[in-house]
Amino acid sequence: MTKHYGGPGGRAVLEGAGGQIATGEFVVVVGRSGSGKSTLLNLLGGLDRPTAGTVHFAGESLFELPDAAMTRLRRRRMGVIFQSYNLIDTLTVAENLRLPLALNALPEDGLVGQWLARVGLSDYEDAWPDRLSGGEQQRVAVARALIHGPDLILADEPTGNLDLDNARAVVELLDDLCRRYGRTLVMVTHSREVAGRADRLLTIRDARLATLETGP
């Protein structure tokens, strides 16, 4: 898979990237700022299109699907935690969490309260996102990305705006989902502690994707 900005002759962000991520695997992506880590997540989630190549998920080539079919697949089977939160300010915290349930025709069944408790925000159901701190918004974004039970979780620096205790709690939650329930987790992070939990480390350097050695 290749991604150039500015067309085929433009700046190469990824060049000939390939490989497989196993179901239930926890993969961390590292690299310098601007190296293409977020671009890789966007390509894996079908949020951006490669210049060449494709992404296969659940037996489908994402970029050969009609737009409506790709949207349905992404909406139901993926959860994305954006670095910039992407919460809807005109909806309360609870309404933000109900949105993926409604889009997927899933019953609430107390899930909003359960997930807010998991991220330490039990009393925030009626709060407005723009009244929350950056760390609180990030925890809401984590809960919203996970509430519908996605098979693939794509997380772009999910602990970047959290204090140490909340960062550990979020990472433990994501790690537990991966280990206990077989969710696949791909995370961009600069945290060595988080990287130490991963099954595999990938690095992007000079537009090339490679596996880092993690053993002695």
Domain limits, the chain: 3-212
> Rounded to the nearest 5°, which phi and psi values hold at 33?
-60, 130
Residue 7 pLDDT > 90, yes or no? no
C-beta atoms surrounding 33 within 10 Å:
6
| pLDDT reported for residue 58 | 86
> 3-212 has which CATH code?
3.40.50.300
Residue 215 pLDDT > 90, yes or no? no
What's the pTM value of the predicted model, to 2 decimals?
A: 0.92
- The alpha carbon dihedral of 59, 3, 192, 165 has a sign of negative
Per the CB < 8 A criterion, the answer to whether 122 and 136 are in contact is: no
| pLDDT reported for residue 216 | 36
d(CA 31, CA 49): 21
Per the CB < 8 A criterion, the answer to whether 156 and 83 are in contact is: yes
pLDDT tens for 149-193 read 999 999 999 988 888 898 899 899 999 999 999 999 999 998 888
The full 3-state SS of 37-105, as one line of letters, equals: HHHHHHHHCCCCCCCECCCEECCEEHHHCCHHHHHHHHHHHEEEECCCCCCCCCCCHHHHHHHHHHHCC
